[in-house]
Structure 1
Amino acid sequence: MFCTALIACLPVAANLADQPLCQVWVASAMQKVFQDEAPPGSAEKVLRLSAARGEREAAQIVLRPSHKAQLVNVKVSDLQAGRGVRLGAEAIAIYRVAYIHLPAHGRKYPDPLPPLRLPVDLEPNQNQPLWVSIEVPRDARPGQYRGEIELEMTGGERHLIPIQLRVWSFEIPLKPSMRTAFGLWGDGIARHHGVSSQSGSHRKLMQRYWELLVSRRISPFSIPVDIFSPEAGKYLSDPRLTSFIIPYSDDEAQLRRTVDHLRQGGWLEKGYFYVVDEPVTREQYDRLVEVCQRIQRIDPSLKIVSPYFRNPDFDPEKRPEVLLDGQVNIWCPVTPFFQPDLLRERQQRGEEVWWYVCCGPGKPYANFFVDMDGIDHRILFWQQKMFGVQGLLYWNTIWWDPNSTQDPWEDIATVKNINPQVYGDGSLVYPGKRAGVYGPVTSIRLELICDGTEDYEYLTLYEKEFGATATQEAIRELTRSLTEFEKDPKRLEAVRERIARALDARHSRR
C-alpha cells in the first residue's frame, strides 16, 4: 500500500510544454551533488540499496526543473519481498538536502539534512536532492524488497522512482565494535534554541541530540543527565554507548566516590578520564602526570586519554608515548602523527589505541570537513580497521561558538581563529530551530560517518569469518595508507558488496 508521507495543497497548473518539467535521477549518498552541476549523461533511475539487518542505508533522488516549480507531494510505498513479507513505509525517512555557502570556494556545498517539508521550491536548472534513508529492522527477513516513491510536481507531473533493497542475512551488532568519543556541549544548544541551560527544555534538547548521535553509532562525551541521577543508568547501560567521560575532581575522596558508583552500576568499563587536551608545554605535561597519578592511586586500571598532535616544546626529540609511558593508557594521536609499530607495542601491553581528527589534517588525509568528498568521511573507518585502531575521538559535534559563527546554517567556518578556510570542524549537527525542529538536524557528513562505522562492522564480521589476511586484502583495494585512498564511491560500494555477499552466503548456510 502507499503511505502518503507529506502533502501540500497547491493550485493545479498545466505543464508549460510536453517535455517533463523536471529531470529526476538517483545518486549515491557519497556524491555531493552541487546545485549547478549538469545531470549525468547516463542517469540512474532506480534507487538500489543493500543493507544488513539493523543497518541504515541511504541514496539521493535529485530533482532539476527546467523552470521554477514546486515539489508538492511525496508518496512512499511499503517494500515487499513476497507474499506477507514487507518493510513498512515508516522505515523510510526523507530529508531535503540544504546548502551552505563556502567563501573560499565561491559556491554552496551540500550538508544539512532537514526533514522534508512540503512544498519544496525548485529553482530553474538547479539541482535539489532528496536524501532517502532506509532503516532495516533487526528482525527483517533477508531477501529482495521492492517498492517505489512517487513525486508530484507543480501541474500534476509525477515521477515514479522504483526502490530495490537487498536485505542480507547477517546483522550489524547493536553494540558497536569500535569505540567512539565525540563532543556534545550544551551551551550552544541552549543559545541556538533560545532556552536556559538550566531549564527542563534544555535537558530535553540534550536528550534529543544525544539520541541522534547514538542512533548513528556515535558515543557522546557525556550523558544528558548527571551520572548520579536515577536516570543515568538507562543511558550508561545503553548497548549503543561505547564510552563516556568520567567526571574528574582533584578531590580524591570525591573521585573515589564517582569511581565506586560507576563500578557498582557495572558502567566503569565504558568510562575514561579526559582532563588534559593536546599537551605541549612543561606545565601541561606536569598537570597530566599529576592527574594520572591521582587516578592510578584509586585504581591503576582506570582508563585515561590525552590526545596529542606533536612532540612537546620542552623536549622536541621525544614523542609523547615515551614521556607519558606508565601514565596514559589510551594513546590517541592525530592521524598524521600515528606511529603504527610503536602503538602496536602498547596494544600488546593491554593498552588501547585511538586516534583523532580535528581542524587538521587537511587533504590528502581523510577528515570530516564540508568541502571534502563524501568518500573521505567513510574511508577513515577502513583505515582504522587496516591499522587496528580501537577508537575514534572527535572534539565536538556542535561547535557553534559565537566568536566563530553566529549561525552554522549561514557560516560553517567554525575555527576562524585557527583557519578561516576550515569548514565544519567540530560541527556535524545543526540546531533545528531554523528548520522547525525541536532538536538537532543531521548532516550528510554525520550520515556518512555512520556509514563508515557500519563499514567497520562489515570488516569486523568478515575478519571473524575469513581471517585477517583476507580482510586486509579487501581494505587495500581501497586504501594503502592514510594519504592514498580511492576517490570513486562506486569502488567502495563494489568492495563492500562483495564482502556482504560473502558474509550472506556464510550466514545463509547456518
Structure 2
Amino acid sequence: MMIPRVRSKSSQWPLTGPGMRFLWLGLALLLPGCSSGPPPAPASTITFTDAQARQTKGVLEDLAGETPRDPNFTLELLPPDGIRWDTLEDAVNFAVGIPELEMAVTQGRDRSQDVRVFHLVDAHDFPACITVRRTDSSPGFEVDVLVGPDPTESFSRRKAERIRKRVEQAIIRYGRIRRVPAFNASMASPMNEDSSTLVEAGFHDELTLLYPDTDATDAPREWTSDTARGWLAGVHLLVQPQDIPSTGVRVTDEQGRTVDGLAIYRIHDVPVEENTGLDSRTEQFKGSVNPHVVRRAPFQIYEAIEPLALHDGEVIVSRTEGPIAYRLEVQSDEPGSRVLLVDVTPDVDDAPLEWTVRTHDWASPSRQSLGFGYTNWFSPSLIARYHDVELWSDAFWPVLVAYAELMARGGQDTFWMKWPDFFERDGDRWVLNEARLDRFIRIFLDAGLYRIEGAPIARRPGGDWSSSTLELSIPRVPANDPEGRLLLADMAGQLSAFMSSRGWTDQWVQHIADEPTDVNAEAYRLVAEQMHELLPGVPIMEATMTRSLSGAVDIWCPKVNKYQENRAFFDARRAEGDQVWTYTCLAPGGPWLNRLMDQERLRSVYFAWAAMTFDVDGYLHWGLNHYKADPFEQSVVDHPAMPGTTNKLPAGDTHVVFPGPDGPWSSTRFEAQRIGLEDLAALQALKRSDPQACQRIVDSIFRGYDDWEDDVETYRQQRRALLEAVASAASD
C-alpha cells in the first residue's frame, strides 16, 4: 500500500528552479571533496548460508503482509489476538493443500461481519464446508468443518476433525507477527568458509508418515516419548543435508556418555504405484476412487528400516537425493525421565536436539500371557532366494534365526510350518524329516515365539474356486479319496508322534485349506472330521467367512469387515468354546483397518485395540515376505491368479519386512503393530484394576474396525493417559 507523505508549507524548500541550481553549483565549488560523494564501502566478507537465507526470506515474506506499525499513520492494526481476517482464505488453502488432503477453496463468502464460510473440493470433487467465527475467548475464533456428501459418516467426521485442527493452526500462523532480529556476525559465515556444510533436522512421531518431499526444516528440535519399563521408545529424525557427502548422528546423555540400549536405523523410501481400492485390491480393479488413503499415488514413502552399526553412539550416512530419515530407539528399564542429546553434524544450529524419554513405572507381563495371537505367514524359500543362500543349507539357518528374532521383536507369537518343507518322498511313502523340523521349530521357540501353526495341507484343484473338492498339497491327490485319506493319516500320525515326543502338542494348531467357502464346505468338513480323529486336542484354525463349518473349525478367522458385520454369529461361536481371530489381505480397503502402505500407521496399531473392543483372540496376515517383485522397487504387483490384468495386490500386501543385505529389515507398519501390542498389555492391566477408566480410553480413540481416531497427537495423549493410569494402579 502506497501512502503519500504530505509536507506542511513551512517545511517546503524556499528555493526552486534556477535558484536551486545556483545554490548547488556554489556548494560544489566550496566543497570540492564532496562533488564525487563518499568513497564506496568495501565489499562485504559476510554472507548468509543457504539455510539462513531461506530463514530470512521466510521472515521477510511474513512481514510483507503485515500492517505497518509506524505511529505517524492511523492505519488499522492487527487485533490483539493476532488473527488477520483478510487472510483467512490463504490460511484455509494452506491448511488443506497438503498431499494427504489436496483440497482447495472454490468459494468464500461472509455470512456476517464475524462469520465467514468457505466451500472446498478435492481433485475428485469430494466436498467440504468450513465456517470460521470470531469469538471473545481464546484464540479469538472457532472453526466448524463438514466433510463429504454425508458428514455423519465416521470417515467424514475424522477427516473433518483433522481439517479443523489444521485450519485453526494455519489461521494462528498467518496472524503471527515475526520480527527480524538484530544482525550480528554469528548469523552469517565468512565467504571463504564452505557455507554448504550444514544440515537441518527435526523430530517426527514414529507413527507419522514421511515422504522424500517432507519439509525437514519445519519440525521440532525437542521431543518427548512416553514408554513403560522394558518397552522400546522410538522417534523419527528427518535430516536435510545441504550438498555434503555425508552426515553424522550421535546420541548421548546429558553428560556426554553413550546410551545403553540405543539403536539407530535409517529409513528408506519405497514406491506406492497405485492406491488401495475402496473395497479391495487397487482402485483400477473397479475404477472407484478411495478417499481414505493418505496420499494420491504414485508417490514414495519412507518405510523400510535398515539397522545401522553404532560407533561410540554415532552413525555416519552417505548423502543421497532428498532428506535422510532415521529411526532412533532406546529401551528403558528404569522409571523416570531422561534427556538424550542428538547431535547432527554438521548442523545449522550448534545446540543438539533434545529427546526426552519418559518411562512410566509399569512393566508388561510376558508376551505369552497377553492371550492375543499374531501370525505372519512367511516363505522359507524366498528367505533363501533373497539372501543368496541354499534352502536348508548350513548358511540358511542363521538367516532364519534373524527372521525369527525380528518376528519376536514385532510381537509375533505364532509361526507356521508347511508340511511339504518337512516331508520327503521315500518310495511310496512320505517320511517326516524330524531333524529339520526339530531345528526349525526350536529356532522360533528360542526367539520367543510360542504357538506352532501347521500351514494348510489341502487346496482347491488348480486354484479353481468353483470346485467343490479339495486335493492334498503333497501328494496332489483328492483329499477325500481312499488314497488321500490313507496318505493323510500316515503323515498326520508321524507329525503327531513327533510333537508329542517333544511336549509341543498343546502349542500346535492346524489349518486344512485356506479360505473355504460354501462351495467346498462339505469336502472341508470331511477332512476336518478325519483330522480331529487323527490329532485329538489340536484345534483346526481357518481364515473363512462361511457359516457352514460350525463344529469343523475351532479357531475362526474372518476378515475384519466380515467379522464386524456378522458379529452375532462369531459371538455365538465363542460362546460354544471356539476362538475368533481376524485377518486382512488385499481386502478390505476404504476406512477399514488394514496395514497397506497408503494407509495411516495407526491402523496397524489398532488391530490390538480391537481385542479390547471386540474381545477377539488374534490377528493373521498372509504376507511377511511373500515378495512377487523386488520390494524396494515395486510395491503393487499382479495377483498371481490373474497376471496382466487390473487384479492387483495393493502396496504392502505381500510383505511387512524387507530383505536387507545382511538380514531382514523391519518396516514402519511392522513397528506400528508392535506398538499396538504394547498398548494391549497396558489396557488389559488397567481393565483389571479400573474397567471404567479402561473403557473410557478405548472409546475415545477406537470404536470399530472402520471407526477410529486418525490423529496421531490425540492417540499419543490417550496412550500417555493409559500409561499414567497403569503406573498409578501398580503403585497402590
Same-fold call, TM cutoff 0.5: yes
Q: Is the 8 A contact 2:216 2:238 kept in 1?
A: no
Alignment of 1:63-142 (within 5 A): 63-65=239-241, 67-78=242-253, 89-104=259-274, 105-116=297-308, 118-121=316-319, 123=321, 126-136=322-332, 140-142=333-335
Matched AA of 1:475: V
Q: Is the 8 A contact 1:95 1:115 kept in 2?
A: yes
Alignment of 1:131-170 (within 5 A): 131-136=327-332, 140-153=333-346, 160-170=352-362
Deviation at 1:210, TM superposition (A): 1.5
Deviation at 1:493, TM superposition (A): 0.8
Q: Take 2:267 and 2:220, find their aligned partners in 1: how far apart are those partners?
A: 19
Deviation at 1:474, TM superposition (A): 1.5
Q: 1:280 to 1:112 in 2, by over 3 A?
A: same
Q: Is the 8 A contact 2:415 2:449 kept in 1?
A: no
| Aligned: 1:386 with 2:613 | yes
Aligned match for 1:420, one of 642, 648, 658: 648
1:62 alignment counterpart: 238
Matched AA of 1:206: L
Q: Is the 8 A contact 1:151 1:159 kept in 2?
A: no
Deviation at 1:151, TM superposition (A): 1.6
Deviation at 1:76, TM superposition (A): 2.0
Q: Is the 8 A contact 1:76 1:150 kept in 2?
A: yes
Residue-by-residue CA offset, 1:4-40 (whole Å, 9 max, x unaligned): xxxxxxxxx94417xx932221110010112213357
Deviation at 1:307, TM superposition (A): 0.5
Structure with greater Cα Rg: 2
Q: Take 1:239 and 1:267, find their aligned partners in 2: how far apart are those partners?
A: 16
Matched AA of 1:337: K
Deviation at 1:382, TM superposition (A): 1.3
Q: Is the 8 A contact 2:202 2:220 kept in 1?
A: yes
Q: Take 1:291 and 1:87, find their aligned partners in 2: how far apart are those partners?
A: 62
Two-structure CA RMSD over aligned residues (Å):
2.8
Q: 1:424 to 1:480 in 2, by over 3 A?
A: same
Alignment of 1:19-34 (within 5 A): 21-34=198-211
1:89 alignment partner, SS class: coil
| Aligned: 1:341 with 2:520 | no
Q: 1:342 to 1:237 in 2, by over 3 A?
A: same
| Aligned: 1:481 with 2:704 | yes
Deviates more, 1:45-54 or 1:481-490: 45-54
Deviation at 1:54, TM superposition (A): 2.1
Deviation at 1:152, TM superposition (A): 1.1
1:6 alignment counterpart: none
1:131 alignment partner, SS class: strand
Residue-by-residue CA offset, 1:420-460 (whole Å, 9 max, x unaligned): 37101030111112xxxx21011111111111111111211
Q: Is the 8 A contact 1:233 1:265 kept in 2?
A: no
Residue-by-residue CA offset, 1:300-355 (whole Å, 9 max, x unaligned): 4321112024xxxxxxxxxx23x101110001101111022221222222211100
Q: Is the 8 A contact 2:264 2:329 kept in 1?
A: yes
Q: 1:198 to 1:206 in 2, by over 3 A?
A: same
Q: 1:342 to 1:430 in 2, by over 3 A?
A: same
Deviation at 1:486, TM superposition (A): 0.8
1:378 alignment partner, SS class: helix
Deviation at 1:97, TM superposition (A): 1.4
Deviation at 1:276, TM superposition (A): 0.5
Q: Is the 8 A contact 1:356 1:392 kept in 2?
A: yes
Matched AA of 2:540: I
Deviation at 1:213, TM superposition (A): 0.6
Q: Take 2:584 and 2:620, find their aligned partners in 1: how far apart are those partners?
A: 7
Q: Which has the higher contact order (CA 8 A, sep 6+)?
A: 1
1:360 alignment counterpart: 587
Deviation at 1:88, TM superposition (A): 6.3
Count of aligned positions: 461
Deviation at 1:232, TM superposition (A): 5.6
Aligned match for 2:553, one of 314, 328, 336: 328
Q: Take 1:40 and 1:366, find their aligned partners in 2: how far apart are those partners?
A: 32
Q: Take 2:231 and 2:624, find their aligned partners in 1: how far apart are those partners?
A: 22
Q: Is the 8 A contact 2:373 2:414 kept in 1?
A: no
Q: 1:223 to 1:278 in 2, by over 3 A?
A: closer
Q: Take 1:345 and 1:76, find their aligned partners in 2: how far apart are those partners?
A: 53
Identical-pair percentage: 20
1:97 alignment partner, SS class: strand
Q: Is the 8 A contact 2:339 2:354 kept in 1?
A: yes
Q: Take 1:233 and 1:498, find their aligned partners in 2: how far apart are those partners?
A: 39
Q: 1:54 to 1:293 in 2, by over 3 A?
A: same
Q: 1:70 to 1:456 in 2, by over 3 A?
A: farther
Q: Is the 8 A contact 1:69 1:153 kept in 2?
A: no
Q: 1:161 to 1:14 in 2, by over 3 A?
A: same
Q: 1:236 to 1:268 in 2, by over 3 A?
A: farther
2:704 alignment partner, SS class: coil
1:72 alignment partner, SS class: strand
Q: Is the 8 A contact 1:175 1:242 kept in 2?
A: no
1:47 alignment counterpart: 223
2:675 alignment counterpart: 451
Matched AA of 1:194: D
Q: 1:134 to 1:377 in 2, by over 3 A?
A: same
Matched AA of 1:446: F
Q: 1:159 to 1:357 in 2, by over 3 A?
A: farther
1:317 alignment counterpart: none
2:62 alignment counterpart: none
Alignment of 1:262-411 (within 5 A): 262-280=499-517, 282=519, 284-309=520-545, 320-321=546-547, 323-338=548-563, 339-401=566-628, 405=629, 407-411=630-634
Deviation at 1:482, TM superposition (A): 1.6
Deviates more, 1:197-206 or 1:363-372: 197-206
1:196 alignment counterpart: 390
Residue-by-residue CA offset, 1:52-103 (whole Å, 9 max, x unaligned): 12212211111124x32344333222588xxxxx996241111111111222
Matched AA of 2:225: L
Q: Flag structure 1 segments of 5+ consecutive residues without an equivalent.
A: 1-12, 81-85, 310-319
1:255 alignment counterpart: 492
Q: 1:122 to 1:100 in 2, by over 3 A?
A: same
Q: Take 2:714 and 2:543, find their aligned partners in 1: how far apart are those partners?
A: 33
1:98 alignment partner, SS class: strand
Deviation at 1:237, TM superposition (A): 4.5
1:241 alignment partner, SS class: coil
2:201 alignment partner, SS class: strand
1:3 alignment counterpart: none
Q: TM-score, normalised by structure 2?
A: 0.59
Q: Take 1:27 and 1:157, find their aligned partners in 2: how far apart are those partners?
A: 18
Q: 1:218 to 1:233 in 2, by over 3 A?
A: closer
Q: Is the 8 A contact 1:463 1:471 kept in 2?
A: yes
Q: Take 2:512 and 2:397, find their aligned partners in 1: how far apart are those partners?
A: 24
Q: Is the 8 A contact 2:512 2:528 kept in 1?
A: no
Alignment of 1:226-241 (within 5 A): 228-229=434-435, 231=439, 234-235=442-443, 237-238=445-446, 240-241=448-449
| Aligned: 1:173 with 2:401 | no
Q: 1:181 to 1:103 in 2, by over 3 A?
A: closer
